[in-house]
């Protein structure tokens, strides 16, 4: 388990950014008995994926919608794939498309397990 500051250091982000992602419901950290945010390895992997989407210039609004689908569970896989495919087809930049994960990387079990 990671604290906010530990995870921020691992991802090279500010703690403010992690809290922003929580407010925007892109990530939902667990809480320890003192009420502090704690993150698991699944949270770390999910946020690494989110950062890849950001690097590829996917708008935060689309990332947020994608995250909502993920948090709803595996039954949203088709909607997630549609949103991601729509983004890829609408994005004319080959460079950006190459920097995005492939659809097979996205739809591995991890994405439906992050809470």
CATH number at residue 59: 1.10.1660.10
Say whether pLDDT at 106 is over 70: no
Total domains, the chain: 1
- What pLDDT does 101 receive? 54
- Residue 103 confidence class, pLDDT cut points 50, 70, 90: very low
Q: Looking at residues 29-44, what average pLDDT do you find?
A: 92
CA distance 75 to 32: 29
* Owning domain of residue 24: 4-113
pTM for this model (two decimals): 0.70
Token output for 66: 């994608």
DSSP H helix total and E strand total for the chain: 8, 2
Long-range CB contact pairs, 12-18, < 8 A, 24+: 13/47, 13/51, 18/47
């Amino acid at each position: 388990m990671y604290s906010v500051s530990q995870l921020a250091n691992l991802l090279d982000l500010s703690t403010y950014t992690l809290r922003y992602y929580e407010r925007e419901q892109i990530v939902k950290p667990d809480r320890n008995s003192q009420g502090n945010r704690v993150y698991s390895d699944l949270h770390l992997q999910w946020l690494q994926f989110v950062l890849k989407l950001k690097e590829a210039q996917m708008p935060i609004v689309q990332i947020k919608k994608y995250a909502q689908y993920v948090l709803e569970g595996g039954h949203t896989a088709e909607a997630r794939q549609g949103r991601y495919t729509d983004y890829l087809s609408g994005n004319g930049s080959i460079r950006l498309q190459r920097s995005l994960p492939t659809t097979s990387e996205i739809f591995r079990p991890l994405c439906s397990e992050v809470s």
